Amino acid sequence: MTGASPTLPADRLAGFKRALPEWWPVLAGLLLLFVPTFFDLFRGQWASEEQAHGPIILALSLWLMYSRWPDMMERTAGIQASVAGWPLFVIGLLMYVIGRSQHIILFELSSFIWVLAAVLLVKRGGKALRILWFPFFFMLFMIPLPGALVSMLTMPMKMAVSYVVEHVLFWAGYPIARTGVILQIGQYQLLVADACAGLQTFLTLEALGLFYLNLVRHTSALRNIGIAILIIPISFTANVIRVTVLTLITYYFGDAAGQGFLHGFAGMVLFISALTLILSLDRLLQWWVKRRAARATVIQGTPS
């Protein structure tokens, strides 16, 4: 963490007003370029369940930039702008033109990150980009991956989730069987879809965990590394919980309930489960780190 004191809301608002004359042409240009892109995304891919995390990632990224903007402006005052921003800006515009004209959303959405980074380099230099590196990194999670890559990586994940759900519910005494990624419980069959246990779901949960780590900013490297590593099994466990909940909803209330409102409720269960697991493991690691530090203090204080 930096040593900067917290900025009061009134002071922050005043700082934004002072910066407005310098930044409003940049803001107007960005809006002109990318409002059509985001409008199309909200009507298209972001309206689907597989990509519903996109607007959440965008909102959190912009909030992180907003919250750290005054600190960035203060620490980069008087710093010479970086000429490296101009070639980056040209690359970003080329990606935008190709992506927009050829309907390649990977290029079009990536250009938003490139152009933002280029503007920051041109206006405030490389230090500004180092201060705001995490929001830019975090925005990568909102970019849809190529379909071929998603299909290749999703199937093993769905197979693993289906396998665990089958064995957990069979152990609990439910009449369940599995064929590939199709679960049959009682008279119902459920296909474990990409949205339930696919690559995008895992990436969304990874983003949630990384956002939590960046927000709390633990001083303990062991605690940060531990949570970062454990995010992967946490994501898997949360997916298992979601599919298990959907399977039980279908078993007790029928197929219409499993595919209706309660399907969306199971999605909420996914994120609540992941957040609960992250917080619980964070507390456990906090207890372990404190215990380890206390033990080291006792050993150092013991006369030889």
Positions marked catalytic: 196, 242
- 182-185/176-179 β-pairing: antiparallel
The Cβ-side half-sphere exposure at 205, using a 13 Å CA radius, reads 33
Q: Are 211 and 282 in contact (CB under 8 A)?
A: no
Q: Give the largest CA-CA distance in the chain.
A: 75
Q: 196 Cβ partners below 8 Å, 6+ apart?
A: 158, 161, 239, 242, 243, 246
Contact 278, 212 (CB under 8 A): yes
d(CA 108, CA 275): 31
